[in-house]
Structure 1
Amino acid sequence: MKRVIITGTSRGIGFEMVQLLAQQDCEILALSRNDQPVKDLNLVNVTTLPFDLSSTEDLTKVEFFLNENWKSVDVLINNAGKLVNKNFEEITSEELLSVYQTNAIGAFQLIQKVVPFMGSKGHVVNISTMGGVQGSVKFPGLAAYSSSKAAMITLTELLAEEYKEKGPAFNVLALGAVKTEMLAEAFPGYEPPTTAKEMASYIANFALTGHQFYNGKLLQVSNSTP
């Protein structure tokens, strides 16, 4: 039974991943500011914690849980994301900091807490966006979101290099359009070809097996623009 930590599990891809991985006999720690949706599933092999990526106290709670209960972690999926869709000149300092805290800084800090519990066969999967990939199509209004997710791509490459001798492996998936509430905020009225459950299935399988084939890689998971 693999032990998997997933952030951003209250809705969309993260919510679907919890259910898919629970069916594959994984033990899951589901982290989200609103833990009620996963709690309501009543899955015996899933633990939920209300968790805010901007809270030092919540990061410490995760570390305490791992020390007291699991002792080891096989997979960390940094799935949480925060979106601000605004003209560049209208984005406030508070909004910018909040987006970066969730999408980059908080994920950075969570990795710091979790990596000591991971062995050579562990796998950290960071979720980015096609908008964060150099040379990809860019869209107005997403300066804060896409640039923060771009930071996760470089961080993944750096950590793969730093831990290449002892593990874990680090990879990043840049997602295209997926039918989620967040995409609806970014592109109102657009109907994407991929459902949250379909993407969740791909990420879940990659998280469990991708470290056997990849390390420090950016994989573009997209069949559309956006």
Structure 2
Amino acid sequence: MDYITLALAKGRTAKDTFKLLETAGIYFNDFHEKSRKLVFYNDDQSLKLIFVKAVDVPTYVEKGAADIGIVGKDNILEAQADVYEMLDLKLGKCKFVVAGKYPESDPEKKRNLTIASKYPTIAKKHFEKKGTSIETVKLNGAVELAPLIGLSDMIVDIVETGNTIDENGLTIFEEIESISTRLIVNKASFATKSASINLFINNLKSALE
């Protein structure tokens, strides 16, 4: 049977995504949270789900290994993948911010900036729009530590409540963009499997209403 492949990001929004899929009438009965399986099929075998790291979802979709993907906007922006962004699922709402120690990191007072981030592409593009050339330091965790130990002037990171920023004595200088979980589609698949993909999208839209 012909099916569409969905790449789903592991992590904090996966549980909410499964709830949304079930509201849309899409069930994976062999899935459970402790399972180590990476591939699942829904009841009628029309949908194949693959679990991958969030950072890899845009690549799987762009390269056609998956027809559709559900992943945070942060990973879509960082990957710069050539895909269709079809739907905001309004899950995992956060925002990108520029933060650092005040006043020594104040971007208005410094010319040559070093920015630590898990998202160096997003950081670079943001400061390029402002006409500021920066050096980026790629970190995969504890980004808030970088300005505290002199590794960077500031950070570009995602925050939900801002508590971690506050607790580490940092100041948010600027909000870059709001982000949330999105549905993305491979461009070729959207042409060749349009009926199945549109049905999936419409079911999710109904579940969101």
TM range (shorter): 0.3 to 0.5
- In the superposition, the TM-score normalised over structure 2's length comes to 0.32
Bigger proportion of residues as helix: 1
- In the superposition, the TM-score normalised over structure 1's length comes to 0.31
